[in-house]
Amino acid sequence: MKSLLITAVALACLLSVTMERANAQSNKGETSSQVPRQSIFAQPQTSEWGSACPPNCAEHLGDASRSRNESSLGKASREWGYFDVGGDVISPRSHQEYLTRAGGGSFAMGFRPLRYLQTGLWGSFLGNFNGTPDSSATYTCTSGCSGTYTATIKSHGNLLAIDSRVVLPLFRERLQISAGGGLAWLGISQSADTGNVNVPATCPPICGDTRGHGPTEVIEIKYFPGGGHVGFGFHVRGMQVKSSGLNFDAAAAGGTYHDNFLLIGGQVSVRFGMH
């Protein structure tokens, strides 16, 4: 994953330099082609429409030239913040304990204080990735009912990550490539549902709960059609999680586990505060 991150950043930088050189040559050719021909006879300086150039004409022309150059380099209006909604699939890459693949919904929010830097928060509500099958338990009614109820106990995973990234904006902010790293917290817990509000299902000790944390790295590509506020994206995230066991059987046995995960997903992105 680290080699993939380094390769993506290198390719993005190379693409940026190539585009800037091409745009600079294009602007140079455009400027030279617009130089008016001068006559050998002395004539007053006039514009193309025959009117004399006002005193602040050169200043306006300079501002317009700088605006064209910035536009050609992709320095369009950028967002102040963003909010994403999508889905992820988590896959374990190590075999220290029994873990399985699972999927779920995700969200992200963050800020972009500088054109080439952003920081944000990422969260995912994952399914059961620790391989523990659903189970059941019997609860006795306490009030408003009688008898016993059978509750279904299910496992639910959750992920929370914070990271900072370098952002490479291309094509006037229509395409954004970002890469960086941070810290992730990954956990899994169980909940019991009896189907009756008068029959509380207390967890624990019947339900399990375990979690871990570790470094994370992420690569993301976003595209905003027409340079608008709404776009879509694709991301790949790696995580190296240290825990006392993300599988309930491993957690009961004790010890320390180092698990690697790969998270792949997509999202719809909304950016706001363009300036």
Lowest mean pLDDT, pick from 71-80, 171-180, 233-242, 266-275: 71-80
What percent of the chain is modeled with pLDDT above 90? 41
pTM, rounded to two decimals: 0.68
Ordered by where they begin, the domains of the chain are 79-272 (2.40.160.20)
Tokens standing for residue 144: 């408003």
Q: Is the pLDDT of residue 150 over 80?
A: no
Q: Is the pLDDT of residue 36 over 50?
A: no
pLDDT value, residue 54: 56
pLDDT band at 7 (very low <50, low <70, confident <90, very high): low
3-class secondary structure for the chain?
CHHHHHHHHHHHHHHHHHHHHHHHHHHHHHHHHCCCCCCCCCCCCECCCCCECCCCHHHHHHHHHHHHHHHHCCCCCCCCEEEEEEEEEEEECCCCCCCCCEEEEEEEEEEEEECCEEEEEEEEEECCCCCCCCEEEEEECCCCCCCEEEEEEEEEEEEEEEEEEEEEEECCCCEEEEEEEEEEEEEEEEEEECCCCCCCCCCCCCCCEEEEEEEEEEEEEEECHHHCCEEEEEEEEEEEEEECCCCHHHHHHCCCEEEEEEEEEEEEEEEECCC
**Structure-model confidence comparison of residues 21 and 191, the more confident one:** 191
pLDDT value, residue 61: 52
Average pLDDT, the chain: 77
pLDDT value, residue 44: 46
pLDDT value, residue 203: 67
**Structure-model confidence comparison of residues 207 and 186, the more confident one:** 186
**Structure-model confidence comparison of residues 12 and 166, the more confident one:** 166
Q: Contact at 8 Å (CB) between 216 and 180?
A: no
pLDDT value, residue 95: 73
Average pLDDT over residues 68-79: 57
Q: Is the pLDDT of residue 74 over 50?
A: no
pLDDT value, residue 237: 97
Q: Which of 49-53, 75-79, 126-130, 164-168 has the highest mean pLDDT?
A: 164-168
What percent of the chain is modeled with pLDDT above 70? 65
Integer Cα distance of 256 and 43 in angstroms = 87
pLDDT band at 132 (very low <50, low <70, confident <90, very high): confident
